[in-house]
Amino acid sequence: MKRRIRLSQAMIVKNEEKNIERALTWGKDIMCEQIVVDTGSTDKTVEIAESLGAKVFRFEWINDFSAAKNFAIEQCNGNWIAFLDADEYFNEQDSKRLIKYVQETDDNGGEGIFTMLVNLDSEGRPATSASQIRIFKKLSNLRYKRRIHEQLCHEDGHNIKVLDATQELTIWHTGYAGETGLEKRKSNRNLNMILKEIEDFPDGYDMYVHLGNEYFNRDRFDLAEKAYQMYIDHISGDILGTDADAADAFLHHLYCLLKQDKDIKTLFDAYNYAVIRIKQNADIPFTMGRCLYNAGLYEEACQCLVEAIRRLETFGTLNKSQIAMQNINLIYEMLSDSTYKLGDIKSAVKYSSTLISVNRSSIKGLIILLRSFKGYDDNPIPVSDVINYLRKIYDFNSLRDIEVLKAAARAVDYKGLDEAITE
């Protein structure tokens, strides 16, 4: 007989009057209760939460997120808990099917659900993503640990049994958008808590990646580099392709070296070690490739950018390679331009053709393609053949496409092509 799911929503808050209404609205119809633990708000957060029917509890802030969250868990009466922050939410579609996934997990002996979490930038656009366990069974020994960047785990250390719903359920996080995010970044609260955590647990090297992030966001690239290096030096065994912390540490360590204008050997040593340890993430070779391209080292740049594409095609982008995927057009632009400048016309045609096939608005890709057809001597590909090739990609009945083609033809000074386009 199936056990009836009673889902409690829980959150800890402080001065979230701008977010609390949405936080308590998205799941109101599916929750058996909504638990809000306030850690010292001085705005209207508590007043709004109570007006929306939430049960509000006060908790004296002791610089420990896990302590506050575990207190919230104790207040829940449901047999499952949805623990989202006030600046996080499910959209309407996902909230309606949440109970279905909880029921499925419960029926199969599961204890938690992996969902996708997407961080939105200041413009409300997806920036980064990761998988999170925010929906979990209320069990006496399942609690959070660590005062910051807390982790949900069994007290005896055994793994949580989870259902992977990262492709079906997405939490949207707005915490670093607008004034609220700016206030959080300016505060030293998180930095001080991380330093205290490291002081209390010096062997907890995974905390160093978060320390690096705090210093990086303050432009203290020297300190960030040391923190990331400490984390990297203590990673043992194989690194999973979806290990966001490891990928973040290697990538930002590389950024720190670039920001400090370290010598090329230091950069290559760090990069070569990173791509060996992080085998599935495309962001690292993309970042190095862009750096080398900007430095005019086109052959080395091509090697990195080709590796980025290989990883994207082989391993996908789920929980990884978001930066490379968002810059896929730029990757092909850099590859097109680099191979053209290296005299590899065949590759320049291949990469520029791939680019404009998926993005007909890429003037740069089109210009590189036409330059490749024109060649370096006085023996360009006949205009009629160029037109036939372009017809496979562009709509010659579209005024917009015609204008793009004519602009590129004039930029390249391809004799006779401008006129042939409109014939």
- Does 338 reside within a domain? yes
Q: Which phi and psi (to 5°) does residue 251 adopt?
A: -65, -45
Report whether pLDDT(160) > 90.
Answer: yes
* pLDDT for position 238: 86
- Measured CA to CA, the distance from residue 296 to residue 300 in angstroms comes to 9
- Does 249 reside within a domain? yes
- Measured CA to CA, the distance from residue 255 to residue 211 in angstroms comes to 15
* pLDDT for position 354: 95
Q: Tell me how many degrees the CA angle 318-230-204 measures, rounded to the nearest 5.
A: 80
Mean pLDDT of 392-410: 91
* pLDDT for position 186: 60
What separation in angstroms does the CA of 394 have from each of 113, 179, 331, 369, 389?
A: 46, 44, 21, 13, 9
- Measured CA to CA, the distance from residue 55 to residue 301 in angstroms comes to 57
Mean pLDDT of 285-310: 96
pLDDT band at 187 (very low <50, low <70, confident <90, very high): low
Q: Determine the straight-line distance between the first and last CA of the chain, rounded to whole angstroms.
A: 74
Of 311, 326, 341, the domain-final residue = 326
DSSP-derived letter for residue 377 is: S
Report whether pLDDT(176) > 70.
Answer: no
Domain identity same for 257 and 359: no
Q: Output the domain CATH number for residue 201.
A: 1.25.40.10
- Higher pLDDT pick, 378 / 373: 373
- Does 342 reside within a domain? yes
Domain identity same for 17 and 162: yes
* pLDDT for position 240: 82
405-409: long-range pairs with CB below 8 Å, 24+:
405/366, 407/363, 408/363, 408/366, 408/367, 408/370, 409/370
52-56, 379-383, 404-408, range with greatest mean pLDDT? 52-56
Range of the domain at 212: 188-326
CA atoms within 13 A on the CB side of 329: 12
The single-letter code of the amino acid at 23 is: A
Domain identity same for 117 and 140: yes
Domain identity same for 371 and 251: no
Domain identity same for 161 and 73: yes
- CA 388 to chain CA centroid, nearest Å: 41
List pLDDT tens digits, range 125-157: 777 778 889 999 999 999 999 999 999 999 988
- Measured CA to CA, the distance from residue 386 to residue 415 in angstroms comes to 12
- Does 147 reside within a domain? yes
Query: Do 16 and 36 touch, CB atoms closer than 8 A?
Result: no
List pLDDT tens digits, range 255-273: 999 999 999 999 999 999 9
Q: Which two tokens stand for residue 191?
A: 């930095």
pLDDT band at 376 (very low <50, low <70, confident <90, very high): low
- The sign of the torsion formed by the CA atoms of 124, 127, 131, 132 equals negative
* pLDDT for position 285: 97
- Higher pLDDT pick, 97 / 176: 97
Work out the angle between the directed axes of helices 345-358 and 363-374 (0-180°, nearest 10): 150
- Measured CA to CA, the distance from residue 244 to residue 323 in angstroms comes to 13
Report whether pLDDT(177) > 60.
Answer: no
Q: Output the domain CATH number for residue 156.
A: 3.90.550.10
- Does 393 reside within a domain? yes
- Measured CA to CA, the distance from residue 197 to residue 221 in angstroms comes to 21
Q: Output the domain CATH number for residue 378.
A: 1.25.40
* pLDDT for position 319: 73
Q: What is the CA radius of gyration of the chain?
A: 26
Task: Tell me the average pLDDT of the chain.
Answer: 92
Q: Which two tokens stand for residue 74?
A: 């104790």
- Does 203 reside within a domain? yes
pTM to 2 decimals? 0.78
- Measured CA to CA, the distance from residue 405 to residue 420 in angstroms comes to 11
Cβ burial 25-56 (10 Å sphere, 16+ → b, else e): ebbeebbebbbbbbbebeeebbebbeeeebbb
Within 97-243, residue ranges assigned H as helices are: 98-107, 178-186, 189-200, 207-217, 221-233
Within 322-415, residue ranges assigned H as helices are: 322-326, 328-341, 345-358, 363-374, 383-391, 399-412
Of 163, 180, 197, the domain-final residue = 180
* pLDDT for position 183: 57
Domain identity same for 29 and 131: yes
At a CB cut-off of 8 Å and minimum separation 6, what does 299 contact? 338, 342
- Does 52 reside within a domain? yes
Q: Which of 65-69, 319-323, 338-342, 395-399 has the lowest mean pLDDT?
A: 319-323
* pLDDT for position 144: 96
* pLDDT for position 324: 92
Mean pLDDT of 93-97: 95
Q: Tell the burial category of 226 from Cβ atoms under 10 Å away from its Cβ (0-12, 13-18, 19+).
A: middle
List pLDDT tens digits, range 341-371: 999 999 999 999 999 998 888 899 999 999 9
The single-letter code of the amino acid at 26 is: W
- Higher pLDDT pick, 317 / 27: 27
- Does 257 reside within a domain? yes
pLDDT band at 377 (very low <50, low <70, confident <90, very high): low
- Measured CA to CA, the distance from residue 57 to residue 72 in angstroms comes to 8
Domain count, the chain: 3
* pLDDT for position 223: 97
pLDDT band at 178 (very low <50, low <70, confident <90, very high): very low
